[in-house]
Amino acid sequence: MKNVVIIGNGVAGITCARELRKRDSSASITVISRESQYHYSRPALMYLYMGHMQWSDVMPYPADFWAKNRIELVHDTVVSCDTEIQTVTLASGATKTYTHLVLATGSSVNKFGWPGQDAKNVQGLYTLQDIESMETSTAECDRAVIVGGGLIGIEMCEMLLSRGIEVTFLVREAEYWNNVLPKEEAQLVSRHIGKHGVDLRLQTELAEIRTDTNNVAVGVRTKDGEKISCSFVGLTAGVHPNTDLAEQSNIDCGRGVLVNQYLQTNIPNVYAVGDCAEILLPGQTRGVVEQLWYTGKNQGIVAAQNICDANQLYERGIWYNSAKFMELDYHTYGQVPATSTDSTSLFWQCRNTEKCLRIAFDDQRRVTGFNSLGIRLRHKVCEQWIADGASLRLVVQQLSSALFDPEFSTDVVPDIVLSYNARATDPIPVPKRKNSFWSKLIPVK
């Protein structure tokens, strides 16, 4: 009988446990977490702070789900792991043996050796404990500085704004997230951030965090020498895999816990999934670390399948992701390089509202990816087009089948067709605008 121990109750670990139970009704399954008794949705943490939801709302499964599915939950810290005798030791002193071990230990906030980075009221945002400490350290705060222009940074800005705290956002790049987003999208998001009242400082890097005699943050100094006073500093310059436990336990690590395409470590009955895993393709020395909700979920499924001897390769498939920048919906499918230009993509931007769409294509004008802001796109349709190598013309022609905006939303298809026609030798008949009556009657920005 299998006796599986999973360390970490984030989405990767929990999906692995659920998939195991689906495939093997007799296996013993234990999930150990130092963070919380029950699994919760990590991306929902921000909504706790903003008062949109309560703790009970962010748990995807009811409390009795775990007993019903015979998944044992242990709220404790694993202090060591012995892969020889297949045992983990907990902080409480208890031990737990296993036949299969899954490491889903997640990641930690990056700190790049800034002076003052470990001072009070300086923190990142990853765990439930981070939200709790943010609650206390911003209780009296009226000005904060966020360092690092990624997805968590903008979330932290939004959180602080909801409490009426003024925010300065230091971003190293020329535009927000423009190492990922092409210039036009990055500019649109940067403008949106500014519109919400965030003091966005582009091409600005942190030099040090200034502290008082009690080691409490009182401000920052940028590399340009500017001093900004604040009583809270958010560090959001990415995350790195938690490998401490693996490193102590003769499990090979690189940047993350090294696994093959079956998500197996160098110890055959030990797997790693989610943020902490670094997937090595055969013949390569530097692997891929995928730190997304969706990839964590899929890796959890594959590890469970392989524990049940399915011999399943992990393949990421066609890339997709979504996010919300303040009030701006963002969907992306396939490959849209940050270096996209007019000759490698069709870009359309609405003149008077914050909406844009980019359709990237290859040298034979076959569509390779989509980026949309302020427009929701249908996953299955976009994925199919990319998989089929559909032509740009066909995609623009059938674009309305890919729209996922709420009913009565302004129909963007005619304008996109026009912008296609402006540069094409094979123009497409411009369709009649849907909802034009309502769009004229009720303008929505």
Count of C-beta atoms within a 10 Å radius of residue 167: 24
Q: Is 326 in the site for other proteins (CB under 8 A)?
A: yes
Shortest approach of other proteins to residue 62 CB, angstroms?
Answer: 7
> Which of residues 23, 24, 30, 47 is near other proteins by CB under 8 A?
47
Shortest approach of other proteins to residue 343 CB, angstroms?
Answer: 29
> Which of residues 36, 266, 322, 335 is near other proteins by CB under 8 A?
322
Q: Quick one: tokens of 372?
A: 């949309």
Which of positions 302-321 make contact with other proteins (CB under 8 A)?
320
Which of positions 357-396 make contact with other proteins (CB under 8 A)?
376-380, 383
> Which of residues 22, 70, 324, 423 is near other proteins by CB under 8 A?
324
Which residue type, as a one-letter code, is found at position 409? S
260-267 long-range contacts (CB < 8 A, ≥24 apart) are 261/313, 261/314, 261/315, 262/302, 262/306, 262/311, 262/312, 262/313, 262/314, 263/299, 263/302, 263/303, 263/306, 263/314, 264/306, 265/103, 267/83
Q: Which stretch binds other proteins (CB under 8 A): 76-84, 124-132, 210-218, 326-334?
A: 326-334
Q: Is 329 in the site for other proteins (CB under 8 A)?
A: yes
CB closer to other proteins out of 320 and 348: 320
Distance CA 366, CA 387 (A): 10
Q: What is the DSSP string of 45-93?
A: HHHHHHTS--GGGG-SS-THHHHHTTEEEEES-EEEEETTTTEEEETTS
Q: Report the sign of the C-alpha dihedral through residues 316, 319, 324, 329, in that order.
A: negative
Q: Is 297 in the site for other proteins (CB under 8 A)?
A: yes
Distance CA 110, CA 291 (A): 13
> Which of residues 135, 327, 362, 388 is near other proteins by CB under 8 A?
327
CB closer to other proteins out of 86 and 298: 298
CB 239 within 8 A of CB 247: no
> Which of residues 293, 397, 428, 430 is near other proteins by CB under 8 A?
293
> Which of residues 23, 28, 36, 50 is near other proteins by CB under 8 A?
50
Going by C-alpha positions, the residue among 321, 323, 328 that lies closest to residue 353 is 328
Gyration radius of the chain over CA positions: 24
Which of positions 218-247 make contact with other proteins (CB under 8 A)?
none
Q: Quick one: tokens of 259?
A: 């696994």
Q: Report the sign of the C-alpha dihedral through residues 273, 274, 276, 278, in that order.
A: positive
CB closer to other proteins out of 98 and 333: 333
Q: Which stretch binds other proteins (CB under 8 A): 44-52, 144-152, 232-240, 336-344?
A: 44-52
CB 1 within 8 A of CB 30: no
> Which of residues 401, 423, 427, 436 is near other proteins by CB under 8 A?
401
Q: What is each CA distance from 345 to 289, 339, 379, 390, in whole angstroms?
A: 27, 10, 19, 14
CB closer to other proteins out of 14 and 258: 14
> Which of residues 5, 58, 157, 270 is near other proteins by CB under 8 A?
58
Shortest approach of other proteins to residue 239 CB, angstroms?
Answer: 16
Binding mask 182-211 for other proteins (x = CB under 8 A): ------------xxxxxx------------
Rounded to 10°, the helix 151-162/183-195 angle is: 10
Q: Report the sign of the C-alpha dihedral through residues 56, 60, 62, 65, in that order.
A: negative
Q: Is 407 in the site for other proteins (CB under 8 A)?
A: yes
Binding mask 150-169 for other proteins (x = CB under 8 A): ------------x-x-x---
Contacting positions for other proteins (CB under 8 A): 11, 41, 43-44, 47, 50-54, 57-60, 62, 162, 164, 166, 194-199, 293-294, 297, 320, 322-324, 326-327, 329, 331, 376-380, 383, 401, 404-410, 435, 438-439, 442, 444-445
